[in-house]
Amino acid sequence: MTHGLPKYFTICQKIIEQIKHGKLLPGMKVPSEHEIIEKYHVSNTTARKILQEIENMGWAVRIKGKGTFVRTANVERAATRILGFTRNMIEAGFTPSTRLLSARHLPGGYSAIINDRFYAIKGPVYMIKRLRFADDIPMMLEERYISLAFCPDIAERNLEGSLYDLYNNAYGLHLTEVNQMLSSITLDDPKVMALFHLTQPISAFLVEGVTFIAKEIILEMEKSIYRGDKYRFSVRAT
């Protein structure tokens, strides 16, 4: 046990740190069950639990008869959860950060067609454009259109953190529904590519969404680009 954490979890984090810092690259084999036992003096059961936990957290994949290998570093974003970027990155084991690129008032409001339905926020609206990072890697470029009816002084707030936390903590607003439309695009605009530090076009996801705080009451709308080489979207049906 270290600082109250289970030993298996501490060892998991040590191996994950090797992956995050490039000591274990995608496709490389992670320490085997035997190697973990020898190095960390743990039981077979604990060693298996460590490897299973690393796989469950999305850092590696087990291939039967061959071992456990570092997987390509994609972030999974579940399309069925109300999950902000900050929490998504933390859950994936990354350190999130944000750069505010621009912000301005839109007196006339904002509207868009999402999943064949017209949505609109009456003005005034505050539009912000932000670049989101995971461990200093540019991951997502977003535009958000926020109703000033619910967040009148948002221009004075820190806009380089979690907006969902800001809505909840500063304004007492609780999100009830997010309706999003996902499209596949090619990220080939030179200015946008420069923001992502890209020299060649790549595939990307365009996400357009509307966020509610009650039935038919819109808090914000978004138009965001997620880089396709770092993200995968999952949908679960029951």
Confidence of residue 228 (pLDDT cuts 50, 70, 90): confident
Q: Is the pLDDT of residue 58 over 70?
A: no
What are the residue ranges spanned by the domains of the chain? 7-70, 75-234
The pLDDT of residue 137 is 85
Entry pTM: 0.67
Report the chain's mean pLDDT, rounded to a whole number: 87
CATH fold match for the domains 7-70 and 75-234: no
The class of domain 75-234 in CATH terms is alpha beta
Q: SS3 letters for 58-112?
A: CCEEEECCCEEEECCCCEEEECCCCCCHHHHHHHCCCCEEEEEEEEEEECCCEEE
Respond yes or no on whether the N-terminal peptide bond of residue 152 is cis (omega within 30° of 0).
Answer: no
What tokens appear for 120 in the block?
């609109």
The pLDDT of residue 151 is 96
The pLDDT of residue 124 is 96
Please choose, from the candidates 81, 165, 96, the residue with its C-alpha nearest in 3D space to the C-alpha of residue 131.
Answer: 96
Average pLDDT value for residue range 128-149: 93
The class of domain 7-70 in CATH terms is mainly alpha
The pLDDT of residue 231 is 76
Confidence of residue 102 (pLDDT cuts 50, 70, 90): very high
